[in-house]
Amino acid sequence: MSNKQNKADNLRVKAEVSIARDAINLVNPQPGEELLHKLLHELQVHQVELQMQNEALRQAQIAMEESRDRYVDLYDFAPIGYFTLSREGMISELNLTAGDLLGEVRSKLIKRRFAQFIVAEDRDRWYQHFASVLQHEQRQRCDLTFQLADGSRFHAQLHSQKTGHSSDSSAPDKASSPQNADSVRIALIEQPGKE
**Is 53 a domain residue?**
yes
pLDDT score recorded for residue 8: 73
pLDDT tops 60 at residue 180: no
pLDDT band with cut points at 50, 70 and 90 for residue 101: very high
Indicate whether 49 and 33 sit together in one domain: yes
pLDDT-derived band at 134 (thresholds 50, 70, 90) equals: very high
Q: Are 167 and 177 in contact (CB under 8 A)?
A: no
Decide if pLDDT at 13 tops 60.
yes
Q: State whether 183 and 111 are in the same domain.
A: yes
Q: Are residues 70 and 91 in the same domain?
A: no
My answer on whether 84 and 49 are in the same domain is no
Write the CB contacts of 45 (distance below 8 Å, at least 6 apart in sequence).
Answer: 12, 15, 16, 19
Please report which confidence band the pLDDT of residue 175 belongs to, taking 50, 70 and 90 as the band edges. Answer: very low
Tell whether 100 and 63 lie within a shared domain: no
pLDDT of residue 24: 62
Q: What is the pLDDT of residue 49?
A: 86
CA 182, 184, 190: angle at the middle one, nearest 5?
180
168 — pLDDT class (breaks 50, 70, 90): very low
Q: Kindly report the average pLDDT of the chain as a whole number.
A: 85
Alpha carbons 142 and 128: distance in angstroms, whole number: 10
**Closest residue by Cα to residue 126 from 163, 72, 85, 82:** 85
Our measurement of the distance from residue 7's CA atom to the centroid of its chain's CA atoms, rounded to an integer in Å, reads 27
Higher model confidence: residue 107 or residue 179? 107
Letter string b/e over residues 18-55, b meaning 16 or more CB atoms within 10 A of that residue's CB: eeeeeeeeeeeeeeeeeeeeeeeeeebbeebbeebeee
96 and 28 both lie in a single domain: no
pLDDT given at position 29? 67
- 33-76 helix and 3-20 helix, angle to the nearest 10 degrees: 120
Domain that holds residue 56: 3-75
The whole-angstrom separation of Cα 33 and Cα 16 is 20
Average pLDDT over residues 53-79: 92
What does the pLDDT read at residue 100? Answer: 95
Q: Please, is 70 exposed, middle or buried when counting C-beta atoms within 10 Å of its C-beta (0-12, 13-18, 19+)? A: exposed
- Residue 195 inside a domain? The answer is no
The answer to whether residues 139 and 86 belong to one domain is: yes
Task: Pick the last residue of a domain from 22, 46, 75.
Answer: 75
In angstroms, rounded to a whole number, what is the distance separating the alpha carbons of residues 106 and 99?
5
Q: How many structural domains comprise the chain?
A: 2
Confidence (pLDDT) at 171:
38
